[in-house]
Amino acid sequence: MAGDKGKFMPFRSFSSQILKLLFLLFLSSALALIFNALRPSGIPLVENWEEKMAAKELPEGIRKVEFHDAVEYFSQGHALFVDARDETFYRLSHIQGALNLPVRDFDVMYPLLKDKLDFDRFIIVYCDGSHCEMSEELAARLIGEGYGQVGVYTGGIEEWMERGMPVSTGDDS
Partner 1 sequence: VNQPLRERLRLWTQRILRYLLGVTFIYASLDKIAHPDQFALAVYNYRLLPDALVNGVALILPWVELLTGASLLLGFFELPALFIVNGLMLIFIGAVSFNLARGMNINCGCFSTDPAAKGDLAFVLLRDLVLLAMGFLALILYPRRGSSPKHAP
> Which of residues 71, 109, 113, 132 is near partner 1 by CB under 8 A?
132
H or E element that contains 152: strand 150-153
> Which of residues 58, 69, 104, 113 is near partner 1 by CB under 8 A?
104
Residue by residue, DSSP assigns 62-97 as -EEE-HHHHHHHHHHT-SEEEE-S-HHHHHH-EETT
User: Is 38 one of the binding residues for partner 1 (CB under 8 A)?
Assistant: no
User: Is 149 one of the binding residues for partner 1 (CB under 8 A)?
Assistant: no
H or E element that contains 113: helix 106-113
Rounded Cα–Cα distance for residues 145 and 125 (Å) = 15
The two most distant CA atoms of the chain are separated, in Å, by: 86
Q: How far is the CB of 93 from partner 1 (least distance, A)?
A: 6
> Which of residues 12, 15, 17, 105 is near partner 1 by CB under 8 A?
17
Q: How far is the CB of 50 from partner 1 (least distance, A)?
A: 6
Which is it for strands 94-95 and 167-168: parallel, antiparallel or unpaired?
Answer: antiparallel
Q: Which residues are near partner 1 by CB under 8 A?
A: 1-4, 6-7, 13, 17-18, 20-21, 23-25, 27-29, 31-33, 35-36, 41-50, 53, 85-86, 89, 92-93, 104, 127-129, 131-134, 157-158
